[in-house]
Amino acid sequence: MSDCIFCKIVAGDIPCNRIYEDDDVLAFHDIHPVAPVHFMIIPKAHVASLTECAAEHQAVLGKILLLAPNLAKEQGLDDGFRTVINTGKGGGQEVFHLHVHIIGGGGPRPL
Ligand code: AMP
Ligand code: ZN
């Protein structure tokens, strides 16, 4: 998707503070953190949100969730963390490339 900011990050056209990368996923720090540790894990292949996911996305969705605790621990979140997936305008989604927020280390807990 040429107008998708996260696709541009995947392509290297926009810089990010990268935490992890493999063939399928990329993890990077959120540019506006809401807590001391706030990063996101995204599939490299564009899919707008959970609503657009289908069976072909099952493996990458599982990969992202299995990666989350490992990356959280690497980022110092030994005590646990929050995972947030905003879906659609009604779910507060602003960037329409699927992403899982990993948040921890103190700060407000809005939910
Ligand atoms: P949402 O779509 O509401 O789940 O959140 C989108 C998130 O993307 C927000 O927390 C933004 O701070 C974050 N964000 C937007 N642009 C960038 C960027 N270039 N690099 C890192 N994070 C970003
Ligand atoms: Zn995209």
- Count CA atoms within 13 Å of residue 31 on its CB side: 7
38, 97, 99, 101: the catalytic one is 99
**Residue 111, in any domain of the structure:** no
pLDDT in tens, 67-105: 999 999 999 999 999 999 999 999 999 999 999 999 999
Q: What is the CATH classification number for the domain harbouring 26?
A: 3.30.428.10
pLDDT in tens, 24-80: 999 999 999 999 999 999 999 999 999 999 999 999 999 999 999 999 999 999 999
Closest to 83 (Cα-Cα) out of 73, 95, 92, 72: 72
**Residue 110, in any domain of the structure:** no
Distance CA 14, CA 109 (A): 30
Cα 31 to middle of ligand 1, angstroms: 6
Number of domain units in the chain = 1
Structural domain of 87:
5-104
**Residue 66, in any domain of the structure:** yes
Please state the pTM of the whole predicted model.
0.95
Write out the E strands in 4-99. Answer: 18-21, 25-29, 37-43, 82-84
**Residue 109, in any domain of the structure:** no
Distance CA 50, CA 66 (A): 17
